[in-house]
Amino acid sequence: MTVWNYGTYMTKRLTRSGNSLALVIDRPLLEALDIDADTELELSTDGDVLVVTPLRDPKRRRRVAELVAEAHEQYGGVFRRLAE
């Protein structure tokens, strides 16, 4: 396991579990993401990369979306100029 100051990275192999394969996630990564055995996870892919995302409280996601919209409304021009 390698720990960087901006995240935790691990190299893992899948483990056989009956007819399936399982990914075992070590405690440091679970703690960094604040997830446990009861956390629902969403899996997605772009065809090359597997992305595992913890599902968060819908109220929390709605609030983040509101904050992003607010920031875009207030600072959208600045963001556009920075992007150029």
- For the chain (84 residues), the mean pLDDT of every run of 10, in chain order, is 56 93 89 87 91 82 87 85 83
Averaged pLDDT of the chain: 84
For residue 52, the SS3 value is strand
Percentage above 90 pLDDT, the chain: 29
Instruction: Extract the tokens encoding 70.
Output: 């607010």
Domain boundaries along the sequence of the chain = 1-39
pLDDT of 6 reads 53
pLDDT of 17 reads 92
Full-model pTM? 0.52
